[in-house]
Structure 1
Amino acid sequence: MSERMNTTEIFDGIRFPGFMHTLESLKAACAFQFQDTDILLVTFPKSGTTWMQQVLSLIFCKGHLWPIHHLPNWARMPWIEQTSFSSLLPKLNSSWPRLLTSHLCAKVLAPALMKSKAKVVYMARNPKDAVVSFYHFHRIAGFLPDPGSFEDFVDEFLQGTGFFGSWFDHVKGWLGLQNDLNLLFVTYEELHQEPRRTIQKLCEFLGHSLRPEEEDVILEHCSFSFMSQSSMVNYSLVSKEIIDQSQGKFLRKGVVGDWREHFTPELDEKFKAVYQSKMGDSGLLLPWTMD
């Protein structure tokens, strides 16, 4: 696979890292036959994907923590658009619903989803924090290009020309389907501020009841301190060629509002103006302010 480290796939006008995506794997995802019992986590990158994979795994493992300690999160909840999916899918735990993950936009993936009653958990994060996290990830991921200056990276993010496309289109596309899909919208911020309440909200949506002591086990094992130490979650199992954590940690801070450490006042004004022009009339109730 290393020969694909620096390749890019373009699918439906969006750039994907060729290291883990091929046109075949991307097309296969859009033709995937979802089962009614499937649970699909959808995110734009760096919006809390790894965290929610951990939470959903914990909800279904009912306190039996073997998978949490022995299976990496990408094996518990594989990405349907990645080349590894066809080998990981048959190995999923048959006593759970199939837990799946995707970064694809609604336009390409929703048609396949609408043929089933599969449940979608859509997780989003304040885009200012998401862009900071994505910038740092570009610096350590061998399969992504060097991000250049932070200002240039933010410009690319605002234009939607970077890898995985436009954050704005992604959020609007998926949240615009709330009446058409069995979809729950969760934010990074609410999981951070009210973890127990958010876990209860997820369980209600998934039709899965937990006792308070089971919630306690989840809270303990989805904490930043636990996840950052766990090789099943912190991506320390992958080679330095793929993610070089000597340059920075995959699980970096796990905080809300880190963008304030990175944005100049000028960059902030520019970001707010673009955000307002793209999201101002979306009619979506998003729980963050741009201040």
Structure 2
Amino acid sequence: MASLEFPWEIKNVSEDEDKTIKKYYKDYVRPFIRVGPKGYIANAGYGDHAAEIYNLEVRPDDIWVTTFSRSGTTWLQELVWLVANNLDFETARAVPLSKRFAYIEYPTQRAETREESTPTNPNAPRATFEDFRSLPSVPSPRYVKSHLPLSLLPPKLLETAKVFYIARDPRDVTVSYHFAHKLFRYFDDNVEFKEFWDLFKQDLIMHTPIFPHVEEAWQKRDHPNMMFLFYEELQNDLRNIIERVCKFLDKEYSEEQQLLLAEYLNFNNMKQKTMVSKTNEDGSEVTFFRKGKAGGWVNYFDEEMTKESEEWLENYLKTTDLRYPKAIK
């Protein structure tokens, strides 16, 4: 099958932007890039493989979970996989999500100064066992994870497969993404949240800008193969979301089974699962699962940052009918 030409322009960020970005993302050598009309930020490694990812063949029995990073991806992945796999809790406990889902663009994000290596211990934690290179040989049904916006994914994705997208209050995303950058050593431990927030609102953090990313999926929310969810909905009424996911995947479970699933997906239980977590025994917040509370951003934004964030969010909401749900305290 002939490959499609990647339809979007890829260009380097400005010299000043690259200098600013590399003050924090220190292990990258080549200039960072902006992709497409929305100017999504990526490292040069993604640009090398953008066309390959865009041309991935999608199968009708695929299930894709797509999100802006730190929006509830792991929570949703576990929910989706269990509903699709007859509530197989035994396998879910034994096999990490990183093995059950292919994180397709993960290797493209590697910094040039870091060697790519495969752990000699097959049980060692890994971000993913499959990616865009191996996905074609993965047996069906395939479960696929991506933090890329829909416009950078295969163009026939929604026509062919079931797709989930989860969004979260961007201020909570910013807080969680800040700690994740430290956890995965993208940023040094001494980088303050205010610095991260300044970069995030200027669209100088990987995957930003966030609003077009969310809006692309929001505009497709009525497509029969798209389920658009909010993180706050999972927190406020998980049972209702379970029912919706079951219906979307054409699965039926008894009330008792759904209660068992809801208990399994309780955030505190998920936090204890070794399949997804790096944990710090010192009690610091630099862990994969932190607090899971929607609205927790208020504890990290000072008065000036709060005002900035409210104006930032208001400017976006003027252009869309999307509204983030309020978290139930």
Specify the TM-score bucket, using the shorter chain as the normaliser: 0.7 to 0.9
Q: Which amino acid aligns with 1:152?
A: E
Residues 140 and 284 (structure 1), Cα distance of their counterparts in 2 relative to 1, 3 Å cut: same
CA RMSD, 1 decimal:
2.8
| AA in 1 matched with 2:143 | L
Structure 2 residue corresponding to 1:270, chosen from 294, 308, 318: 308
Match of 2:147 among 103, 107, 113: 103
Verify: 1:10 aligned to 2:33, yes or no: yes
Equivalent residue number for residue 317 of structure 2: 279
**CA displacement 1:213-255 (0-9 Å, x = unmatched):** 221232122222222111112246xxx9xxx997721101111
Contact 2:239 2:262 in 1 (8 A): yes
Shift of 1:285: 3.8
Q: Which amino acid letter does the alignment assign opposite residue 299 of structure 2?
A: E
Write the mapping of 1:234-253 to structure 2, written as runs, cut at 5 A. Answer: 234-235=277-278, 248-253=286-291
Unaligned runs of 5+ in 2: 1-24, 108-129
Inter-CA distance 258–201: structure 2 relative to 1 (3 Å threshold): same
Give the structure-1-normalised TM-score: 0.83
- Computing the radius of gyration from Cα coordinates, the structure with the larger value is 2
Q: What is the 5 A alignment of 1:44-193?
A: 44-83=68-107, 84-85=130-131, 86-87=133-134, 90-91=137-138, 94=140, 97-109=141-153, 111-114=155-158, 116-144=159-187, 148-179=191-222, 182-193=225-236
In structure 1, stretches of 5+ residues that fail to align are none
Cα deviation code 1:118-166 (max 9, x no counterpart)? 1211100111111110111112212456683322211222222211121
| Distance in 2, Cα, partners of 1:247 & 1:17 | 26
Q: Identify which range, 225-234 or 129-138, moves more after superposition.
A: 225-234
Aligned residues: 274
User: Helix, strand or coil: the match of 1:185?
Assistant: strand
Q: Flag the 1:143–1:67 CA change in 2: closer, same or farther, 3 A.
A: farther
Determine if contact 1:6/1:144 at 8 Å carries over to the other structure: no
Identity score, percent: 28
What's the CA shift for 1:80?
2.1
Amino acid corresponding to residue 27 of structure 2 in structure 1: N
**Separation (CA, whole Å) in 1 of partners of 2:70 and 2:106:** 17
- Equivalent-residue separation in structure 2 for 1:109 and 1:245 (angstroms): 38
TM-score by structure 2 length? 0.74
Q: 8 Å contact 1:168–1:279 — kept in the other structure?
A: no
1:178 to 1:110, Cα distance in 2 relative to 1, 3 A: farther
Q: How many Å apart are 1:78 and its aligned residue?
A: 1.7
